[in-house]
């Protein structure tokens, strides 16, 4: 292979397995693969709801009281995200999953907040990829719905980074 497509195979091999598996030989995503990936996203939203509910109630210390009420709000927003993703999976002809990803726990407030921040970072990365995949399939309305979710997820990143004393997520 020579010319502008010479490195195409190498570039595909350098992508993470999840991204590489989502694409067929021509770099397109199938509708079924999008459903599967959205179900993984849905499982992550369930995880976030559970984590935020638990962490908001068990986080201790004067320094964390304002973030505890913020975490309760995050739980509500993550539930809205889960409903939106489940609705889109159904629209695409799939069956929404019912199992959350594993929720990490800790007795240390800072560790709980770091777990949440790590999960939010992963979620934003995945939704950005999902937006590109939706657009490849011509599912522009779904891509716009995901963009609204990304805005809230980025707000969560900022809240968590601020609570951890970081300037950025």
Tens digits of residue pLDDT in 66-94: 899 999 999 999 999 999 999 999 999 99
pLDDT at 65: 86
Segment 39-62 mean pLDDT: 96
Under DSSP, the state recorded for 64 is: G
Please state the rounded mean pLDDT for residues 42-70. 94
Burial class of residue 10 (count of CB atoms within 10 Å of its CB; 0-12, 13-18, 19+): exposed
Domain annotation for the chain: domains and CATH numbers: 27-163 (1.20.1260.10)
Please provide residue 77's backbone torsions phi and psi, each rounded to the nearest 5 degrees: -65, -40
A 10 A CB-CB count for 82 gives: 21
Instruction: Report the candidate in 41, 59, 39 with the shortest Cα–Cα distance to residue 114.
Output: 59
pTM value is 0.83
- Two structure tokens written together for 144: 């716009």
For 153-167, the pLDDT digits (tens) are 999 999 999 999 997
Instruction: Count the alpha carbons within 13 Å of 116 in the hemisphere toward its beta carbon.
Output: 37
């Amino acid at each position: 292979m020579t010319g502008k497509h010479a490195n195409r195979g190498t570039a595909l091999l350098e992508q993470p397995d999840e991204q590489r598996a989502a694409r067929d030989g021509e770099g397109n995503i199938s509708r079924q693969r999008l459903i599967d990936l959205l179900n993984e996203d849905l499982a992550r939203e369930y995880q976030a709801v559970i984590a935020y509910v638990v962490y908001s109630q068990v986080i201790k210390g004067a320094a964390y009281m304002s973030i505890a009420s913020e975490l309760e709000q995050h739980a509500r927003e993550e539930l809205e995200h889960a409903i939106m993703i489940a609705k889109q999976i159904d629209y695409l002809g799939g069956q929404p999953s019912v199992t959350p990803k594993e929720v990490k726990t800790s007795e240390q407030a800072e560790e709980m907040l770091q777990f949440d921040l790590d999960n939010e970072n992963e979620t934003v990365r995945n939704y950005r990829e999902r937006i590109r995949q939706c657009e490849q399939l011509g599912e522009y309305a779904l891509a716009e719905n995901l963009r609204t979710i990304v805005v809230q997820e980025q707000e969560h990143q900022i809240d968590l980074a601020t609570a951890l004393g970081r300037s950025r997520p």
